[in-house]
Amino acid sequence: MTIGIGSGTTVYWFIRGLGERVMQGLEIKAVPTSEQTATLAKESGIAISDLDETDKLVLTIDGADEIDADGNLVKGGGGALLQEKIVAAASEQLIIIADDSKLVKKLGRFPLPVEVIPFGYQQVQRKILESLPCKGVQLRKKDERAFVTDHDHYILDCEFQKIEDVAALNISLHLIPGVVETGLFPRMANKAIIGFEDGKVEVINYR
């Protein structure tokens, strides 16, 4: 089968484990959600496929920065939210792997990443602050320069603290010209596999 593979620290270990299975004879292809994931998958011996060349993704396995009780997610801490959402939307199932610190009652504690085009990004900052219940917006930086995504965009990290209506906020952000994508994944997760410090694993089914 062909599956989607997400990005991030937890997914790193999944890719390594999947690579070991491939070495043992497992036949599988992967659509990566970032250049970093693609590189790691190739190093692990996993065949890479392009989404446009794929008829169907049975499932995508990815991490998350926050997960609420309804399976709503905040993603994008690693900066790959655009491709992660495209791949997740093309999949029959989205399975999240994470540790228990990512479980929250309401999203918002983790700053919400919003991907924007570089042109006029400060106008987008102002619009978010003026029109939405946002406490602060910061341009993400790396090595004192603006962080640039795989698709040559910027990321604004938005302090909402508590998000009451995930779907409504996602729509409101998309209505601001210059916004490419948000790190909100409203009710997109089908299942979460949660690991705990004591070694316990819990599977949560959302839909």
- Look over the chain and give the mean of its residue pLDDT values, rounded to a whole number: 96
pTM, full prediction: 0.94
Q: What is the mean pLDDT of residues 53-72?
A: 94
Q: In b/e form, how buried is each residue of 53-83, taking b as 16+ CB within 10 angstroms?
A: eeeebebbbbbbbbbbeebbbbbbbbbbbbb
- Tens-digit pLDDT profile for residues 156-167: 999 999 999 999
Alpha-carbon torsion (87, 88, 91, 93), positive or negative:
positive
Residue 137 pLDDT > 90, yes or no?
Answer: yes
Q: Give the active site residue among 20, 35, 53, 84.
A: 84
DSSP state of 24: T
List beta partners, residue 195: 99, 201
How many residues are recorded in the chain?
207
Residue 87 pLDDT > 90, yes or no?
Answer: yes
Residue 56 pLDDT > 90, yes or no?
Answer: no
- Tens-digit pLDDT profile for residues 162-204: 999 999 999 999 999 999 999 999 999 999 999 999 999 999 9
Is the CB of residue 161 less than 8 Å from the CB of residue 46? no
SS (H, E, C) 121-175: HHHHHHHHHHHCCCCEEEECEECCEECCCCCCCEEEEEECCCCCCHHHHHHHHHC
Q: Above pLDDT 90, what percent of the chain?
A: 96
Split at pLDDT 50, 70, 90, the class of 101 is: very high
Q: In b/e form, how buried is each residue of 10-36, taking b as 16+ CB within 10 angstroms?
A: bbeebbeebbeebeeeeeebbbbbbeb
Split at pLDDT 50, 70, 90, the class of 20 is: very high
3-state secondary structure of 104: coil
Of 27, 20, 32, 25, which Cα lies nearest the Cα of 1? Answer: 27
CA atoms within 13 A on the CB side of 41: 22
Split at pLDDT 50, 70, 90, the class of 28 is: very high
84 noted as active-site residue: yes
d(CA 205, CA 133): 31
Is the CB of residue 120 less than 8 Å from the CB of residue 175? no
